[in-house]
């Protein structure tokens, strides 16, 4: 089993990837939902970091100065990814994350952890990008902090849905900022992995659910 397939099973077992009737922030009625807020144990955090680290190591085995996690969900993600990169691959990358509000006492500033320097190559670690707002805000933030190169964005799932244009939100980020975007898995990989295949004896994605997901992607998807 590939690490991508293991990750899909991990999301299902963790109650992070669920199927049913949901409403996204954008008002779309979706038959599946990815809620990374359901990760809640140390064991889950450690394994989640391993999957992000595997994705980072696969696509960018070098060329990263530091990792950045956008507040709030990106904070635990960047910490566990950095720890796993060191533990599993011997890469001791510094990490940082932003404050939602600028601290005006103590050391002050926007950033916590590593202080980015001019010329740094930064990779952003996020959960699931829908509209890309947090990523765009992060890129604008860095323009106030240092003259860095945002090299890549790593996310857990690519929903492969249209953003504000005909292409996916992730493709919009690629086009607008010239950064590489790497999901651990895509929704198509999830369908292939789970369709009529049980996880711990239960089929979560049967023919009816697959049909609903395909219909959803016909309306909102962008290949």
Q: Which residues participate in catalysis according to the annotation?
A: 103, 105
Query: In this structure, are residues 125 and 69 in contact, taking their beta carbons and an 8 Å threshold?
Result: yes
Whole-angstrom distance, CA of residue 93 vs CA of residue 15: 30
Length of the chain: 223
CB atoms within 10 A of CB 17: 26
Distance CA 102, CA 5 (A): 40
Among 127, 124, 170, which Cα is nearest to 151's? Answer: 124
The number of CA neighbours under 13 Å toward the Cβ of 176 is 16
Separation of alpha carbons 139 and 117, rounded Å: 14
Distance of CA 79 to the CA centre of its chain: 13
SS3 of 26-45: the string is CCCEEEEEECHHHCCCHHHH
CA 118 from chain centre, in angstroms, equals: 25
């Amino acid at each position: 089993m590939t690490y991508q397939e293991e990750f899909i099973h991990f999301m299902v077992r963790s109650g992070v990837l669920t199927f049913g009737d949901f409403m996204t922030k954008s008002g779309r009625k979706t038959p599946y939902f990815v809620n990374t807020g359901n990760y809640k144990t140390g064991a889950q955090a450690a394994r989640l970091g391993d999957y992000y680290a595997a994705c980072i190591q696969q696509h960018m085995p070098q060329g990263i100065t530091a990792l950045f996690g956008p507040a709030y969900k990106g904070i635990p993600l960047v910490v566990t990814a950095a720890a796993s990169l060191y533990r599993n691959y011997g890469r001791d990358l510094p990490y940082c994350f932003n404050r939602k509000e600028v601290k005006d006492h103590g050391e002050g500033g926007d950033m916590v952890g590593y202080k980015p320097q001019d010329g740094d190559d930064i990779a952003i670690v996020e959960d699931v990008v829908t509209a890309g707002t947090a990523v765009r805000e992060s890129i604008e933030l860095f323009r106030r902090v240092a003259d860095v190169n945002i090299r890549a964005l790593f996310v857990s799932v690519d929903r492969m849905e249209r953003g504000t244009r005909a292409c996916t939100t992730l493709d919009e980020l690629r086009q607008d900022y010239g950064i590489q975007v790497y999901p651990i898995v895509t929704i198509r990989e999830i369908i292939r992995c789970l369709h009529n295949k049980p996880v711990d004896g239960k089929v979560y994605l049967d023919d009816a659910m697959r049909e609903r997901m395909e219909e959803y992607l016909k309306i909102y998807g962008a290949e």
